[in-house]
Amino acid sequence: MTLSSLSSHELDFIDDDEFHEECGVVGIWTTQDAASLTALGLHALQHRGQEASGIVTYDGNQFHTHRGLGLVGEVFDDPRVIASLPGGMGIGHNRYATTGETQLRNVQPLYGDFEFGGFAVAHNGNLTNAQLLKQSLVRRGCLFQSSTDSEVFIHLIAISLYSNVIDRFIDAIKQVQGAYSLVALSKDMLIAARDPLGVRPLILGKLPYIQDENSWVVASETCALSSMGADFVRDIEPGEVIIIDHDGVRSIHPFADNTSSRFCIFEYVYFARPDSVIENKSVYMARKKIGAELAKESHVEADVVVPVPDSGVPAAIGYAEASNIPFELGIIRSHYIGRTFIEPTDQIRNLGVKLKHATNRAVINGKRVILIDDSIVRGTTSKKIVEMVRAAGAIEVHLRIASPPTQHSCFYGIDTPAEEKLLAHTHSIDEMCKLIGADSLGFVSADGLYRALQEDKRNNQNPQYCDACFTGDYPIPLTDHDMQLVKSK
């Protein structure tokens, strides 16, 4: 195996025991420099996808596109690339593959020439009936150029019998199942849409410093607005379609009353950037409150609270404040490891956590340590971190997790292992604790997680969030998955 033959998943072997983000999308409607603004937004959303990035712009006469594999700073590192993307309207996309391999043909935004002109689309989420729709579309003569489920939107729009762009777009989204936050660009308008349950985030912002008052931003998170000096206007609602054109912003609700909010609860636990505000909640404060609930539910006597960086930091602060135990950075994370240049042999895999994390012996040696992390996936990273902390002199190591046990796979846009590879799916908490090597192990309860998000508790008849990875309660049909199960029997 040579380095050039490694897939991105193999190159990311250090992170193979973590959940990976879905994708990030940005849309710009203004009168100048859409590409630069879009790139700034994508930089801020880099945490949502690190495999590939792309931008499509329109200058009033023609569309321009640039897509590439790698981080935003790698794909758009040459000023000549941004200069090759003129125009005041644009959309951009950061990708982490949940469907389709990592190849240039799968990099978004996807673009097509239609009878009404050019059309580009960028998608965050995952369609649960994409394979069924693809089979039908192929039978009708559609030729797929990628292996990503997002291309289904392009073909559904292409074959629609409606005459205008918006009606074709709505016709398409009414045929898909799953989670989607979409931004799309035609020569006349920027379109943004969320699925009827609003599983993935999408927000609307305003560019106040640009002379044209009709200058707007659509993005996955508010942190993207901050990076380009835009003001937050509001969350786009579940099932809502936003149209931005030369007349301003208008809203359509094509799903009538068949909408409700089942926003992904794991955005608050891990995926969103801490400085974002989503659904009127500060992500950072939500994580602190989760840590406080964790302290109430599974407190243990100890000398120091230590986060597993970086995602465990806010919850650890909340835990420390609620328990009156000192917070210390007992584990230091390297932010410069990136994708290793070393071929991932078994020996190097075993050293992977040490390349990424180092213990701060001065605050651990001789102490009873409470480790705070956001989740446990396979458990291999947790085991190695516990071993590292013990090797640094900890006399006790108690692991506390700022989410309920992850027992089920996600089918709505988050890259998770199959259920049989999730440690919590196959083991009890006591068994997990023994395998990881901690003195004790505790998770925040589902009710505790909901309380931290300002709900009394989880309503079993009408849960307020999508929490399927914890409960197995999937709010959107898993059509393709169920078909595969039937075929395998």
Catalytic sites, residue numbers: 23
SS3 4: helix
In this structure, what token pair is assigned to residue 170? 């709505």
Number of residues in the chain? 489
SS3 257: coil
In this structure, what token pair is assigned to residue 284? 């950072």
Please list the helix, strand and coil fractions of the chain in percent, rounded to the nearest 5, in that order: 35, 25, 40
Q: Report the candidate in 122, 126, 107, 4 with the shortest Cα–Cα distance to residue 52.
A: 107
- Treating both helix axes as pointing N-terminal to C-terminal, what angle do 380-391 and 429-436 enclose, rounded to 10 degrees? 50
For residue 480, CA distances in Å to 138, 175, 176 come to 16, 14, 12
DSSP strands (E only) in 147-303:
178-186, 190-194, 203-206, 216-219, 231-235, 241-245, 248-252, 263-264, 277-278, 281-282
Whole-angstrom Cα Rg for the chain? 23
Residue with tokens 């029997």: 489
SS3 267: helix
| DSSP letter, residue 327 | B
Residues in contact with 13: Cβ distance below 8 Å, sequence separation at least 6, in sequence order: 340, 344, 349, 352
In this structure, what token pair is assigned to residue 144? 């797929």
Give the separation between CA 314 and CA 305, rounded to whole angstroms. 12
Contact 297, 448 (CB under 8 A): yes
| 465-466 vs 368-373, strand pairing mode | unpaired
In this structure, what token pair is assigned to residue 133? 């729709």
Contact 166, 252 (CB under 8 A): yes
Give the separation between CA 432 and CA 436, rounded to whole angstroms. 6
